[in-house]
Amino acid sequence: VERFGRYPHRNALLGRVSTPEEERWLAEDTPGWATSQRPLGEGSEAAPPPLAGPADSRRAVRLIALDCTSALSERSAPTGDVLPFFQWALRLGYVVARVWSSAESRRDHGAPAAGLGPMVHFEVFGEAGAAGEPADPLDSLLARGRALLPDLEPRQILHVGGRRREAAEAAAAHGLRAASVERPRSAGRPRGGGEQAPRGVVVVASFEEVRLRLESAGGEWAEG
């Protein structure tokens, strides 16, 4: 960013033309996380086969949105599994977004989210931002997503939140796919306190589980 004012490795994804200097940088000095095909899952033997690119309207999930207010409340990024998950998502061509319930939540949780900056295409906030932008962050998420993917449908957005289940419930109510990452707090306590997940919300134990579910279903997101 200091050198080019943008991330050159995103040029092809966003339809931008690389300058000759950027092309040289991409050929010689691209950071490893941007091009690595090394498996991210512990114990994996081979990198997953690439899914269709984000322009492919047939893919079930095309945009992955991280609810930073809830998912980062346990300070799980960037040293945990959040950063590797978004490196994987970017490499496979997903559009990636961050969702904040308010500007205050970004201030409170911005530090752990800072490492995700290079992987994010855009972010949305709870209160209205730019003129004409919806106040509801999920409405804004869909509007911003359609700016990149004009035929994007709500069901093609996977909203990933944390223990604050109302965020996941709101996403499901908007027609989005919803995952709630609820890490076990102790070895003897079930994730989510043993509570039944709200309708339309899939409870998982980690971001690694989100990745594995998407891979095993070829990009689909099964509820249940």
Tell me the one-letter amino acid at 91: R
Gap between the Cα atoms of 175 and 109, Å rounded: 26
**Which residues 6+ apart lie within 8 Å of 171 measured at CB?**
65, 67, 138, 159, 161, 177, 178, 201
Percent pLDDT > 70 in the chain is 56
DSSP 12: H
Gap between the Cα atoms of 100 and 111, Å rounded: 13
Gap between the Cα atoms of 166 and 198, Å rounded: 9
Q: Is residue 192 left, alpha or beta, with left meaning phi > 0 and alpha meaning psi from -120 to 50?
A: left
Q: Which residues of 18-54 are buried (b: 16+ CB within 10 A; e: fewer)?
A: eeeebeebbeeeeeebbeeeeebbeeeeeebeebeeb
Per-residue pLDDT tens digits for 109-156? 554 455 666 678 888 877 644 555 546 788 889 999 999 888 999 999
> Could you tell me if 30 and 9 are in contact, meaning their C-beta atoms sit under 8 angstroms apart?
yes
Per-residue pLDDT tens digits for 150-165? 899 999 999 998 766 7
**Which residues 6+ apart lie within 8 Å of 215 measured at CB?**
48
**Mean pLDDT score across all residues of the chain:** 71
Q: State the architecture of 63-216 in CATH terms.
A: 3-Layer(aba) Sandwich (3.40)
Q: Using 50, 70 and 90 to split pLDDT, how confident is the model at 36?
A: very low
> Could you tell me if 202 and 179 are in contact, meaning their C-beta atoms sit under 8 angstroms apart?
yes
Gap between the Cα atoms of 59 and 93, Å rounded: 11
pLDDT score of 88 more than 80: yes
pLDDT of residue 105: 53
Q: Which of 23-37, 52-66, 141-155, 210-224 has the highest mean pLDDT?
A: 141-155
- When comparing pLDDT for 8 and 99, which is higher? 99
Peptide bond into 78 cis (omega under 30): yes
Per-residue pLDDT tens digits for 179-198? 988 877 644 444 444 456 66
> Could you tell me if 96 and 121 are in contact, meaning their C-beta atoms sit under 8 angstroms apart?
yes
> How, if at all, do strands 177-181 and 95-99 pair?
unpaired
- When comparing pLDDT for 37 and 66, which is higher? 66
- Average pLDDT estimate for 28-44: 43
pLDDT score of 51 more than 80: no
209 closest CA partner among 97, 82, 96, 119: 82
Gap between the Cα atoms of 37 and 46, Å rounded: 9
